[in-house]
Structure 1
Amino acid sequence: MARIALEADGYQFHGSSSDFAADCRRYDELVAAGWLVLRFTYQQVIADPDWVVATVRRALSHRIS
């Protein structure tokens, strides 16, 4: 199993310190469990999907080789 998690971050859900803290906790828990977390902004996903896909593929190739 590659254990790669993808997140698409936007400003809307990081408006408070508690929201930000929850996001950091989730990220840290995944990393501590051996996951690679790739975080993309909403704008990157919409405006540059080819780069997002290439990045995911590159990370996946490192995880399965």
Structure 2
Amino acid sequence: MPSRQDEAFDAAAAIVTCILSGDMREARSIAFSSDTMHADMILVLASALAAGHTAESWRESLLAAYLEDDS
């Protein structure tokens, strides 16, 4: 039986895979599924995101995303 962490990792990976494939409907379906460990899943996603950034590159990415949303 998979652990809670394994399930959260699998769900997070599936969401990212769907987003990269352009399937936002399925990504949302997984994200809002009642059987997903939301807090654990958020930590998995945040950890993966943080691994690809320095503090400075993260600030730049956030600013770029903020400015893009305002367009």
More strand by share: 1
Q: Which has the larger radius of gyration?
A: 2
Shorter-chain TM-score above 0.5: no
TM-score class, shorter:
0.3 to 0.5
TM-score (norm 1): 0.40
More helix by share: 2
TM-score (norm 2): 0.38
